[in-house]
């Protein structure tokens, strides 16, 4: 998860400073000119840069030291930043009819669209919005489930237990227990939506959903259609995977627990949100013996601890020709969970000063999953550093899906060949074992696709008012069943607010970016493997050690947001369209195998 390049996450700048910054009155002429627009952008970006650093530092401290004081400090500085960003966005709209060059126009549009939760001009509401955001962050970060015997479990504890448990009673207890954290969030979330919608309307958008969908170099309605198109391309593969997984779970637990004509109970899929299914590989894997690399075991066998995992990720990028991470990265990152305090454990990559102070924040565990996550988060950091010399408004990815895709593209190069090259395994399993490896990856990547679509489908309905607060939970589960074929394992009360049990809801992180990233990463991987000259199966390719691929990747990263995303995609992949066909190419052998397994089964729900 990317965090805290301020404008990209929707913080902003303070109204008081914005007023002072406009002392030259460039944005307030009765007839503003192109020169006024350029001066306005220069002034705005200078002030945003100055205000951004202390706000991001405060956010970092808060997420690493969750106290009332750190929450208040983060909320205060974030509110000042947010208020000013809103003012600048409103001021930018005054140049809508001014004839300016394309670069100036792009920066003006990005400034208007830069906010995730735009605060209204009303100072009291702006402060309230900031406080709600900090409160929701804290409620999630401090969330625990306490059992009847007094034992209290944190989310990382429960996540690990759920991954390994095969006792449906315990799985249900953990699943339901974590969802006790979110009901108190609901009223805050309702109010937050009301205030942010007001802010979005002041910027000229219909509501917050309209603003969120407008960030993709196309009209917001067209973007919604684009998401539907891409989902339609990959849905047949998901349906085949779902059919096989449900049948195997039915064999394992019994069809009284997993009926074969219904959605799958969410607590049985090895993940707190049933968003990825890799932890149940042992249940659904091919029956024939296969040599599939166990990365978790390889890390343990080679005594690769959490710090060394991050060092290994850095070495991957170094092999592509990227400069080493700065000393401050190692001095200031949070790599393991502290024993003495609460922190927000959700993995994230931070760009503190928009230059060289890049960090990760992870409660890293010695697992194959976190080995992948380390490479992903470092992908954010290297992207952040690559575009650091762009103007402030261009310091971001081509669109937010690109930021998520880059690290995952690197993750696709964590193949057996790569693991052998770095000494984690001694031999590369032959191609006869690929079905097992592809199944493992599909349980992570393909299983995730419908979840990554439905989260924002729910939010867009909430923001637009199509779903009333009393129906939040009902519609959440309707969408989960529609897209995922997953259902709540027990009856959920209307006020349960199960969406809040997923970090990105109280954290207000747009989620469609992850869907787009899952489409893009396979496109980028396919393109980079071609540049690297790899002629083998795409699923066995690694770009580790190939500096031609590294140069091509860096050229994309350095562009930042300076060009529309089709230009960025075309530069590396030779196409201006996101496309799910690379996924079909990558997983083609598994699709054939799944179709064979599913013959005679009842698929669908």
Quick: pLDDT tens for 521-559. 999 999 999 999 998 899 999 999 999 999 999 999 999
26 contacts 42 by C-beta, under 8 angstroms: no
Q: Give the integer Cα–Cα distance in Å for 18 and 21.
A: 5
Task: Give SS3 for 152.
Answer: strand
Task: Report the distance separating Cα 102 and Cα 108, nearest Å.
Answer: 10
Residues 418 and 534: their CA atoms lie apart, in Å, by: 13
456, 504 in Cβ contact below 8 A? no
Cα–chain-centroid distance for residue 260? 32
pLDDT at 264: 98
Contact 185, 500 (CB under 8 A): yes
Would 62 be classed as within a structural domain?
yes
* Cα 108 from Cα 319, distance rounded (Å): 38
Q: How many residues does the chain have?
A: 605
What's the pLDDT band for 29 if we cut at 50, 70, 90? low
Question: How confident is residue 27, by pLDDT bands cut at 50, 70 and 90?
Answer: very low
> Is pLDDT of 24 > 80?
no
Domain range enclosing 37: 2-140+185-205
Between the CA atoms of 401, 407, 412 and 417, what dihedral angle is there, to the nearest 10 degrees?
170
H-helix or E-strand spanning residue 526: helix 512-531
Domain presence at residue 215: no
Please state the separation of Cα 182 from the chain's center in Å: 20
Residue 543 and residue 316: Cα distance in Å, rounded?
Answer: 9
Q: What is the largest CA-CA distance in the chain?
A: 76
Residues 337 and 354: their CA atoms lie apart, in Å, by 25
Q: Which of 372, 371, 329, 365 has the alpha carbon at shortest distance from 350?
A: 329
- In whole angstroms, what is the distance from residue 270 CA to residue 267 CA? 7
Q: Which active-site residues does the annotation give? A: 377, 504
Token readout for 162 is 């759920």
In a domain, 15, yes or no: yes
CB 445 within 8 A of CB 582: no
Q: Where do we find the tokens 């502290």? A: 338
What percent of the chain lies above the pLDDT cut of 70?
Answer: 95
pLDDT of residue 435: 93
The pLDDT assigned to 291 comes to 82
Asked if residue 307 lies in contact with residue 537, where contact means CB atoms within 8 angstroms, the answer is no
Q: Are 372 and 365 in contact (CB under 8 A)?
A: no
In a domain, 112, yes or no: yes
Distance set, CA 319 to CA 300, 307, 330, 416, 571 (Å): 24, 19, 19, 17, 22
User: Is the pLDDT score of 10 beyond 80?
Assistant: no
Determine the average pLDDT of the residues in 224-242: 96
Q: Is 60 exceeded by the pLDDT of residue 26? A: no
Q: pLDDT at residue 13 above 60? A: no
Structure token digits, residue 177: 């227990």
Which of 69 and 86 is assigned the larger pLDDT?
69
Structure tokens at 65: 């030291």
69 lies in some domain: yes
**Distance between CA atoms of 578 and 236, rounded to whole angstroms?**
18
Q: Please answer whether residues 79 and 126 qualify as being in contact, where contact means their C-beta atoms are separated by less than 8 angstroms.
A: yes
**450 touches 238 (CB < 8 A):** yes
Mean pLDDT of 304-321: 97
Q: Write down the residue that tokens 């000393």 correspond to.
A: 327
Distance CA 306, CA 173 (A): 30
Tens of pLDDT, residue by residue over 424-468, are 999 998 888 899 989 999 999 999 999 999 999 999 999 999 999
Q: Are 273 and 502 in contact (CB under 8 A)?
A: yes
User: Mean pLDDT across the stretch 207-215?
Assistant: 94
State pLDDT tens for residues 252-282: 999 999 999 999 999 999 999 999 999 999 9
Spatial separation of the C-alpha atoms in residues 295 and 317, rounded to whole Å: 19
Could you give the angle at which helices 220-253 and 512-531 cross, rounded to 10 degrees? 90
Q: Is the pLDDT of residue 120 over 60?
A: yes
- Neighbouring CB atoms inside 10 A of 497's CB total 25
**Residue 41 is assigned to a structural domain of this protein:** yes
More confident residue, 308 or 288: 308
CB atoms within 10 A of CB 221: 11
Domain assignment present for 198: yes
513, 401 contact by CB (below 8 A) = yes
At residue 3 the predicted structure's pLDDT band, cuts being 50, 70 and 90, is low
Instruction: Please give the average per-residue pLDDT across 65-81, as a whole number.
Output: 90
Residue 115 pLDDT level (bands cut at 50, 70, 90): confident
Domains of the chain: total: 1
Identify whether 175 is part of a domain: no
pTM value is 0.86
pLDDT at site 113: 87
Higher per-residue pLDDT: 15 or 99: 99
Q: What is the mean pLDDT of residues 72-97?
A: 88
- pLDDT tens digits for 157-193? 999 999 999 999 999 999 999 999 999 999 999 999 9
Name the nearest CA neighbour of 135 among 506, 469, 498. 506
């Amino acid at each position: 998860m990317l965090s805290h390049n301020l404008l990209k996450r929707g913080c902003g700048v303070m109204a008081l400073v914005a007023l002072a910054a406009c002392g030259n009155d460039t944005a307030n002429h009765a007839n503003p000119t192109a020169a006024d627009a350029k001066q306005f952008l220069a002034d705005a970006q200078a002030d945003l840069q100055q205000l951004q650093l202390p706000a991001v530092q405060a956010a970092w401290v808060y997420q690493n030291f969750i106290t009332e004081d750190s929450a208040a400090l983060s909320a205060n500085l974030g509110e000042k930043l947010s208020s000013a960003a809103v003012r600048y966005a409103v001021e930018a709209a005054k140049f809508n009819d001014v004839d300016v060059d394309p670069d100036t126009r792009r920066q003006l549009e990005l400034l208007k669209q830069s906010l995730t939760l735009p605060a209204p001009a009303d100072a009291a509401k702006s402060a309230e919005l900031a406080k709600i955001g900090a409160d929701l962050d804290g409620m999630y970060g401090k969330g625990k489930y306490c059992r009847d015997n007094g034992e209290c479990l944190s989310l990382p504890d429960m996540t690990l237990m759920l991954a390994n448990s095969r006792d449906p009673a315990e799985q249900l207890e953990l699943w339901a227990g974590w969802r006790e954290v979110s009901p108190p969030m609901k009223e805050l979330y309702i109010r937050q939506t009301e205030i942010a919608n007001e802010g979005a309307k002041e910027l000229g958008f219909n509501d917050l959903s309209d603003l969120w969908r407008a960030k993709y170099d196309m009209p917001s309605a067209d973007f919604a259609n684009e998401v539907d198109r891409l989902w339609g391309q990959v849905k047949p593969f998901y349906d085949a995977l779902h059919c096989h997984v449900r049948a195997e779970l039915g064999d394992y637990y019994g069809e009284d627990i997993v009926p074969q004509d219904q959605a799958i109970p969410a607590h049985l899929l090895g993940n707190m949100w049933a968003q990825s299914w890799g932890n149940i590989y042992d249940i659904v894997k091919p029956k024939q013996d296969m040599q599939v690399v166990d990365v978790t075991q390889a890390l343990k066998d080679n005594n690769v601890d959490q710090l060394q995992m991050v060092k290994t990720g850095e070495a991957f990028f170094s092999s592509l020709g990227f400069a080493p991470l700065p000393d401050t990265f190692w001095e200031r990152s949070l790599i393991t969970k502290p024993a003495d305090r609460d922190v927000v454990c959700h993995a994230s990559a931070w760009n503190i000063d928009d230059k060289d102070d890049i960090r990760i924040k992870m409660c890293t565990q010695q697992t194959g999953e976190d080995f992948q996550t380390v490479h992903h988060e470092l992908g954010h950091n290297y992207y952040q550093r690559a575009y650091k010399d762009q103007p402030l408004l261009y310091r971001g990815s081509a669109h937010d899906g690109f930021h998520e895709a880059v690290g995952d593209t690197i993750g696709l190069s964590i193949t057996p060949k790569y693991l052998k090259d770095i000494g984690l395994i001694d031999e590369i399993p032959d191609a006869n074992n690929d079905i097992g490896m592809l199944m493992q990856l599909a349980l992570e990547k393909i299983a995730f696709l419908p979840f990554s679509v439905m989260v924002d489908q729910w939010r867009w309905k909430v923001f637009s008012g199509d779903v009333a607060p009393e129906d939040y939970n009902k519609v959440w589960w309707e969408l989960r069943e529609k897209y995922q074929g997953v259902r709540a394992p027990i009856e959920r009360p209307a006020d349960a607010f199960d969406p809040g049990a997923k970090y990105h809801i109280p954290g207000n992180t747009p989620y469609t970016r992850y869907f787009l990233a899952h489409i893009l990463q396979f496109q980028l991987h396919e393109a980079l493997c071609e540049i690297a000259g790899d002629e083998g199966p795409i699923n066995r390719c690694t770009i580790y050690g190939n500096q031609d691929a590294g140069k091509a990747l860096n050229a994309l990263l350095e562009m930042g947001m300076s060009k529309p995303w089709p230009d960025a995609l075309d530069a590396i992949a030779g196409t201006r369209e996101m496309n799910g066909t690379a996924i079909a190419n990558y997983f083609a052998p598994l699709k054939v195998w799944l179709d064979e397994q599913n013959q005679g089964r009842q698929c669908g729900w």
